[in-house]
């Protein structure tokens, strides 16, 4: 029972952090010219955070995709952290109770 509560808290914490990090990534999109420069700084940071939040193959692939999403101009609107959370908890293991 205690493990179930901890796992649920971890899921909620990852979702909240993911929404926050997606928001940070989208803020740079709203500032013309300066925003594209800030993506050069934010892209490796976001990729590192993503790979630490999600372990294993999911974290590695999501880290690379997040880096590409942040570094390529005009793709900042893609919520990569939230999409990874959805993939991890809904599609990766559909038999698991949420």
Residue 14: inside a domain, yes or no? yes
Residue 69: inside a domain, yes or no? yes
Residue 97: inside a domain, yes or no? no
CA–CA gap between residue 46 and residue 75 (Å, rounded): 14
pTM of the predicted structure, to 2 decimals: 0.82
User: Which tokens sit at 54?
Assistant: 């999600």
CA–CA gap between residue 34 and residue 5 (Å, rounded): 42
Considering its fold, how many domains does the chain have in total? 1
Residue 24: inside a domain, yes or no? yes
Task: Write the pLDDT tens digit of every residue in 59-73.
Answer: 999 999 999 998 888
What is the residue range of 27's domain?
7-91
**Residues ≥6 apart with Cβ < 8 Å to 65:** 80
Residue 54: inside a domain, yes or no? yes
Residue 70: inside a domain, yes or no? yes
Residue 1: inside a domain, yes or no? no
The rounded Cα 85 to chain-centroid distance in angstroms is 7
Residue 96: inside a domain, yes or no? no
Task: Write the pLDDT tens digit of every residue in 10-59.
Answer: 899 999 999 999 998 888 777 777 777 788 899 999 999 999 999 999 99
Supply the angle between the helices 34-53 and 2-29 in degrees, to the nearest 10.
170
């Amino acid at each position: 029972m205690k493990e179930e509560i901890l796992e649920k808290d971890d899921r909620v914490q990852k979702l909240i952090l993911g929404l926050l990090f997606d928001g940070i990534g989208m803020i740079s999109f709203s500032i013309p010219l300066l925003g594209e420069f800030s993506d050069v700084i934010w892209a490796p940071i976001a990729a590192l955070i993503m790979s630490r939040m999600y372990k294993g193959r999911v974290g590695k692939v999501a880290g690379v995709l997040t880096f590409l999403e942040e570094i390529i101009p005009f793709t900042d609107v893609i919520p990569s952290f939230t999409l990874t959370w959805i993939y991890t908890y809904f599609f990766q293991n559909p038999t698991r109770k949420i």
